[in-house]
Each structure stands twice: as C-alpha cells, then as structure tokens.
Chain A
Amino acid sequence: MAIHERAIIEAVSGLGFAGNEEGLIPAFGLYLTKHFADYYNRISYALLGDFIRRAPELEEDARALLIEAGRVCSFHTFGGIMTSVEWDAVVRPMIESREDWVLGMVAVVNALGWGRWEVKSLEANERLVLTVHDSYEATGYVRDYPRAKEPRCYLAAGGVAGLMNLVYQGDITARPTFSEAYYLEIFRSPRTFAARETRCLAMGDSCCEIVAERDPI
C-alpha cells in the first residue's frame, strides 16, 4: 500500500484536537496548541528586523536562530507523531519503505494548517525537494511587509531539515528517545541535513520551495 495522503489528512483532522478540562491539548507526548500564525510571524519578523537594524550582516544570525527553532520543532513534534499510537494506527500500515516515512509525515503536516507541503523529489538518504503552497509564514509576510530579498519560511526550512534528519541521519523507525543528546547526535553531525529555501512567496515567487541536502550549505 502506498501512502494515501488524503486518508491521512482526514484521519488527523478528525482527531479534533481541543483543550481538555485544564484547557491543554496533550497529544503525541507533547502539549499542542492551535496557535495564531500572525503571532509567530510578528515576533519572528520583529526579531529579524531588530537584528538587521543593528547591523545588516546580522540578518544571517537571525535567520539561523529562527531556523533552529524550526529544527527543534520538527525533532519533537514530528518525532512525537512518528512514534505515536495514532501513527501506528493510521500511517504505519501504509509504509513499505523508509521513504514512506517522509511521505507519511508530509501528509500529517498537511493537517496542521501550515499550508500544503508537496514532495517534488526524494532521493533516498540524500536529498528532498518540497514545495509549500499557502505557507503561513510567507503569506503573513506578504500581507504585512514589503517584498523580501531573501526567503522568509524559517519554520518550514528547519522542519524539512529536521524531517530528513529524523528519517535518514537518525533512525526514527527504531523509536528513539527524543533527548538533548539524541538531538545533538543527529543535528550536529558533519553529515546532518541542512535546508535552504530556493523560492519563496515573500520574494514574489508563486510558491515556496525548500531543498534539504547533506552537503554543507
């Protein structure tokens, strides 16, 4: 059985995440929120703007910090999801190869409200090219800021790199513990995956495109 993306999206959407009697959403070993994209965008782009105003060369530092937040997100969120009972029930029966772990997780992402992730090409253990339509980062940027000279989807870039690291640099199929040590092992390795956004709605492109590769970028 191949990955049936629509079935996964409908199944995850059907989980109906909502606050419990404490107003919290415990799921996948995490506390989830249904958060406001505007909030993330305001605080992230404010950090970027502050760094650029201090010194233009600090833009790269701000970008690195925000992408790191995305990598932390993917490590815990994607990791938690891919080792959950819900994954075992819905996605795992469709998995026939390691690449299906990537495709299955992308399908789950497409139920999180982040915009539509679409895998354009996946070279096992080497490279992933993925487009994002309606990226919440880029659409928010386009609405509130002038056209960017650089890409603006930091969470997505960190997330894509993290996904490849979980599947190929680490071994998500072995159900690892998502500890600080494991994070350092797979994200600080010389062979770690890094991601770069090659097209972005915020730069005037029709959609966003992210490439994750092992080569240092």
Chain B
Amino acid sequence: MTAAIVPHADLDRSTLTLGGRRVVLHCHHYNVFLQRTIEDGLGAHAPALLTQAAMESARATLSKLEAEGPAGSPAAVIARGADVLAHHGFGLADVSALGERGGTATIERAHYAVGWLAKFGRRATPCCFFSAGWLAGAVVVAGGFSPERVVARETECLAAGAPRCSFLVEVW
C-alpha cells in the first residue's frame, strides 16, 4: 500500500483529502440507506446516476494522483484504482482481467453488497453501482479516454445471491 492513496488529514480544519478531493468516513448503514433512497426516488434513472457519479469520483481522484506522481502504465493505473478501493473499505478487487481496453473484475466481499445484506437482506438486482463506476473511471484514466467511451455494469452481485460480485467494463 503506497502512501499516495492514504487521505491527507488536516486536523485543524477536520478535513481529509485525496487527490485534492474531500474524503469522508461513513458507515454501511448510511451508504446503503442513501442508495436505497436514491433508487426509490429516481427509479430507472438511479443506476446510471450512481454509476456515473462513481466514475467521476474515480476519474477526478486517480487522474490527480497520476499527475502528482511518476507516470504509470495503464495496468499500474488500474491497480492503483483497485488499491484505493481496498484501502478505503470498498472491498478487495481482482483486476487481473481488466485493462485499458476493458475486461472483467471481481470483488469477493464488496462493501455495498455486504452492507446491503447486513441491513436489508438479499435483493433481486445487483447493488454495487459505486464499484462498477469506480472501475470504469480507472479504465478511463488508464486509457486516457473520454468518459462516455467507457461503460460498466455489475453482472453478478453477492447481495443478489451470487458467490461474489462481478463487473464488466467495456470501452467503445
């Protein structure tokens, strides 16, 4: 784990930042309750919003981290994205099959799936929009793509009864 993915704490202002972006501690109760609020409120529009917002977070954060450090290979950028996910509590992602041209990734115990199961129980559809969007954002930065060229979705989810969460990232 490199120091570059650990948020900087300003104890006087009570802020945490990573890549110039604010980081805040929150628990699974808030995360999945807020997500359910968004899903209930926006219906069919919610998955795209949740995924896009995560992609933008990843793009902003990872591109800044890349700019601050030595230039990394596309694989290194994606690995750093996975490191951020794991360090920040979202689950350990296997990105060995994910590259700048897209691919697949898995998370054995993703935060949103584990949190959803703990708070609400099993659901019918995948819930890890944040992870999907974050992985897409990592591919955007790795490949230097315009964001609209990369789409990601969760194909299987622990919270929907699958053994793990699986993600498909496609570059158009």
Contact = CB atoms under 8 A, between A and B. Distances in A.
Interface of A: 6, 9-10, 13, 17-19, 21-25, 28, 30-40, 42-44, 46-47, 50-51, 62, 65-66, 68-70, 72-73, 75-77, 80, 109-117, 133-134, 136, 139-140, 155
Interface string B142-160: 0000000000000000000
B14 A113 contact: yes
Given A35-B31, A51-B41, A117-B14, A23 B22 contact: no
Contacts of A42: 49, 53, 56
A34 B92 CA distance: 14
B88 A38 contact: no
A30 B29 contact: yes
Contacts of B35: 43
B114 interface: yes
The binding surface of chain A is classed by DSSP as: helix
B169 interface: no
12 contacts: A9-B14, A22-B109, A24-B111, A31-B27, A32-B28, A33-B25, A35-B24, A42-B49, A42-B56, A51-B41, A73-B26, A113-B14
B4 interface: no
A33 B88 contact: yes
Contact of A33 (B21, B33, B61, B89): B89
B115 interface: yes
A68 B33 CA distance: 9
B35 to A, nearest CB: 8
